[in-house]
Copies of this chain bind each other. A is one copy, B any other.
Amino acid sequence: MTARPTRKGIATVSLSGVLPEKLEAAAAAGFDGVELFDNDLIASPWAPREVASRCADLGLRVDLFQPIRDVEGVPPDRFDDVLHRFRAKLAVMAELGADTVLCCSNVAVDAVDDPDLSADQLRRLGDLAAASGVTIAFEALAWGRHVHRVGQAWDVVRRADHPAVTLAVDTFHVLSRGDDGSALADVPGDRIGFLQVADAPLLDMGLLEWSRHHRCFPGEGTLDVADVVRATLRAGYDGPVSLEVFSDLVREADPRRTARDAMRSLLFLEDSLAAEGPPAPARVDAAFLEVPGGPGVPALLGSLGFSVAGRHRTKPVTWWRQGSADVVVNDGSPDPALGIVTSPVPAVASRAKRLLWPEVDRTRGAGEAHLPGITSPSGLHVFVSAPAGEEDHWQRDFAPVAPGPAADSAWTGLDHVALAVPAERLNEQVSFLRTLLGLVPGGTEEFMEPHGRLRSRAFRPGAGDLRVVLNVEDVGAGRTPPSGVTQVAFATSDVRSAVVALRSAGVPLMAVPDNYYADLDARFGLAPDLLADLRCHGLLYDRVGGGELLHAFTMPLAPGFHVEVLERRGGYDGYGSAGTHVRLAVQRR
């Protein structure tokens, strides 16, 4: 994966459906092989030989089979049972044409804590395996009874000293125990028999439950998967890199979609392992929000203080502006879009293609800016523009209109866009923002709503002013959570004037309960003048260190859609989350 691409695999358990659907989805996404879960085989009407031939037809190898548990550290009087089970499964493997079998460390209460016994038992299984041309890959389950760290598993494999007994590396099991790639420093690559990769969000829960319900594809969680993979490949391992991801989400998702997401994560992992790291744009700035046209849209933009700044030379698209805040109205598209500025533009476009992100279907007039559009999993399009002054800058496609009164306002631009995704699309959208735009996620914040909860995560580039807030609303059975752009925040250097102007233009602003100001006073002990001023203008307030945020929200301007105006002072870098519960209660009332 460093020098050359490795074989890419995925476990059938990572995909929903029954075996034929799983295999087709894996093949369609371009995988080279699968780990076959025994339960998928047992429930299938296909005999093992037929599974082998179907896989061959689809261009898939059966890279791994894992049919048997608790095989080492077994009380000696019961080891004959293990041999019986192992022989039976080797017979199945011969028909499957699989040559690697995964054996996990024993989790039974009566497992014996004796590495020499474990090694001896693995050696005896190794003799049987070798006679069938099969290699054992021995894995330390993070919740194994005695063997639960990769170093312990390696110790047992070393003691077994058998050519058919090798070490299996699983990034989740290594990292969830607090180990990292350095734990593999002494392991020769030809003694590593298999590499399974999975990421996970950081959760404070039991390892087994964490593993069973919350694994995700590399780059969607917080584990340093690349570190363990790099160490494994450096050791000289040249087998498949195989995704083993269990989660409630993948069990419920369309397997074809999951397989594409899975393949993308391996491509990104591959890039991350390159000497120069994954290619990410040097900086990413917010350019404009594009909204679909509609009967009320011009009037609404007018009341928000925007005026027309330009008309597209060939398309039914209008550019609106207030100060330096830009909104584009597209009468020809039903979907919202976010315009960003980065450089070089073609690199982002080709990167999107390599990562299987779909392009927006659009025509480009002669002489127009090359503005590639990519559809994100949430449905939001992203248009990529070159910086101002360059040929492919988005504003060059518009014939300017004489500046209206809004041109010299104090609005300084798009501060952030809040995007709601259904829970089952979250990982994909995170992957989009990270892999394509190189955005970095902040921590997850959680807010109670009157009828559910909101999970929120802010994304920022390494350099540049783009801010995207990704929200998931859990609203309960039978109710549809919001999806798409739910809020746009505009930055201003004078939020008081902004609020006064909006109010006089008849824009419905959120009424802040008086109790909020009593609490604000209790929390911050604000100067009476400031408190009176906030109350009088209906502003929310937050303070962190020397930074302050003053902001206001509209009531819904379209179903589930709000505008925020905000003023950041003294380097305030957050989103006013201390007041979010108030906003949610008032806006949803």
Among candidates B43, B84, B209, B252, residue contacting A581 with C-beta atoms closer than 8 Å: B43
Q: Which of A102-110, A131-139, A488-496, A519-527 contacts B (4 or more CB under 8 A)?
A: A519-527
- Which of A248, A424, A522, A582 has the most B CB atoms < 10 Å from its CB? A522
Q: Establish whether residues B514 and A423, one from each chain, have CB atoms under 8 Å apart when the complex forms.
A: no
- Count of A residues near B, CB < 8 Å? 64
CA A589 to CA B253, docked complex, whole Å: 16
Bound together, the chains give a CA A422 to CA B586 distance in angstroms of 30
A275 at the binding interface (Cβ < 8 Å): no
Within 8 A of B (CB), among A43-93: 43-48, 67-68, 81, 84-85, 88-89, 92
Interchain CB contact under 8 A, A252 and B477 = yes
CA distance in complex: A316, B26 (Å) = 55
Interface residues of A in 229-272 (CB under 8 A from B): 248-249, 251-253
Contact of A204 among B16, B205, B251 (CB under 8 A): B205
Whether B88 lies near A521 (C-beta < 8 A) is yes
Q: What B residues does A334 contact at CB under 8 A?
A: none
Copies of the polypeptide in the assembly: 2
A222 contacts the other chain (CB 8 A) = no
Q: Which residues of B contact A581 (CB under 8 A)?
A: 39, 42-43
Q: A17-B451, A518-B92 are in contact. Are A474 and B513 (CB under 8 A)?
A: no
Query: Counting CB contacts under 8 A, is A465 at the interface?
Result: no
- List of B residues within 8 angstroms of A519 by Cβ: 38, 42, 67
Given A252-B476, A477-B252, A518-B88, do A511 and B209 touch, yes or no (CB 8 Å)?
no
Cβ of A477 and Cβ of B424 under 8 Å apart?
Answer: yes
Q: Which of A81, A85, A513, A519 has the most CB of B within 10 A?
A: A519
Query: Nearest-CB distance from A539 to chain B (Å)?
Result: 15
Q: Which of A38, A208, A249, A451 gathers most chain B CB within 10 Å?
A: A451
Evaluate contact between A84 and B522: CB separation under 8 angstroms: yes
A206 within 8 A of B: yes
* Chain B residues closer than 8 Å to A507, beta-carbon distance: none
Tell me, yes or no, whether A475 is within 8 Å of chain B by CB: yes
A450 within 8 A of B: yes
- When distances are taken between beta carbons in the complex, the residues of chain B under 8 Å from A85 are 522-523
Instruction: Give Cα A523–Cα B249 distance, bound, in whole angstroms.
Output: 31
Q: Assess the B514–A47 pair: CB atoms within 8 A.
A: yes
Q: Is the CB of B89 within 8 A of A522?
A: yes
Minimum CB–CB distance for A422 against chain B, Å = 6
Query: Which of chain B's residues have a CB closer than 8 A to the CB of A448?
Result: 13, 39, 251
Q: Which among B44, B45, B422, B474 is the interface contact of A248 at CB below 8 angstroms? A: B474
Bound state CA distance, A448 and B251, in angstroms? 8
Q: Is B206 a contact partner of A449 (Cβ separation < 8 A)?
A: no
A252 touches B42 (CB 8 A): no
Determine the residue in chain B with the shortest Cβ distance to A246. Answer: B448
Q: Measured between alpha carbons, how far is A269 from B516 in the docked complex, in Å?
A: 37
Closest B residue to A583 using CB positions: B43
A513: contacting residue among B13, B44, B452, B584, CB under 8 A: B44
| Chain B nearest Cβ from A52, distance in angstroms | 13
**In the complex, which of the residues B251, B515, B522, B582 contacts A453, with contact meaning CB atoms closer than 8 Å?**
B251
Q: How far is the CB of A89 from chain B (nearest CB, A)?
A: 6
Known: A84-B522, A477-B423. A515 touches B252 (CB 8 A): no
User: Looking at the complex, which one of B422, B511, B585 makes contact with A18 (CB distance below 8 Å)?
Assistant: B585
Give the CA-CA distance A477 to B482 in the complex, in Å.
13
Residue A203, interface by CB 8 Å: yes
Whether the Cβ atoms of A42 and B205 lie closer than 8 Å is: no
Interface centre among A39, A46, A248, A515 (most CB of B within 10 A): A515
B522 close to A476 (CB less than 8 A): no
Complex contacts, A513 vs chain B, CB 8 Å: 42-45
Question: Assuming the A-B contacts A42-B515, A515-B41, are A253 and B476 also in contact, with contact meaning beta carbons closer than 8 angstroms in the complex?
Answer: yes
Within 8 Å by CB of A42, from B41, B42, B81, B516, lies B516
Chain B residues with CB under 8 A of A424: 476-477
The reply to whether A43 and B209 contact each other, CB–CB distance below 8 Å, is no
* Contact pick for A511, options B45, B253, B423, CB 8 Å: B45
Q: In chain B, what residue has the closest Cβ to A43?
A: B585
Is the CB–CB distance between A589 and B518 below 8 Å? no
How near does chain B come to A33, taking the closest CB pair, in angstroms?
20
- Which one of B41, B423, B474 contacts A252 once the chains associate, using CB atoms below 8 Å? B474
Q: Are B525 and A84 in contact (CB under 8 A)?
A: yes
Q: CA separation between A42 and B13, bound complex, in Å? A: 47
Encode A354-386 as 1/0 by CB contact (under 8 A) with B. 000000000000000000000000000000000
Q: Which residues of B contact A43 (CB under 8 A)?
A: 513, 515-516, 581-582, 584-586
Instruction: List the B side residues contacting A511 at CB < 8 Å.
Output: 45
Q: Whose C-beta in chain B lies nearest to the C-beta of A210?
A: B205
Interface members, chain A 1-23 (any B CB < 8 Å): 13, 16-18
Cross-interface CB contact of A251 among B67, B451, B525, B582, cutoff 8 Å: B451
Give 3 closest A-B pairs by Cβ, nearest first.
A252-B476, A204-B206, A205-B205
Q: Other than the known A43-B513, A204-B209, what 13 A-B pairs have Cβ atoms closer than 8 Å?
A: A16-B451, A16-B452, A17-B451, A18-B450, A18-B585, A38-B519, A39-B581, A43-B515, A43-B582, A46-B515, A204-B208, A251-B451, A252-B474
Q: Which residues of A contact B (CB under 8 A)?
A: 13, 16-18, 38-39, 41-48, 67-68, 81, 84-85, 88-89, 92, 203-206, 208-209, 248-249, 251-253, 422-424, 448-453, 474-477, 479, 511, 513-516, 518-519, 521-523, 525, 581-582, 584-586, 589
Give 5 A-B contacts (CB < 8 Å), ordered by A residue: A44-B513, A81-B525, A204-B209, A423-B477, A424-B476
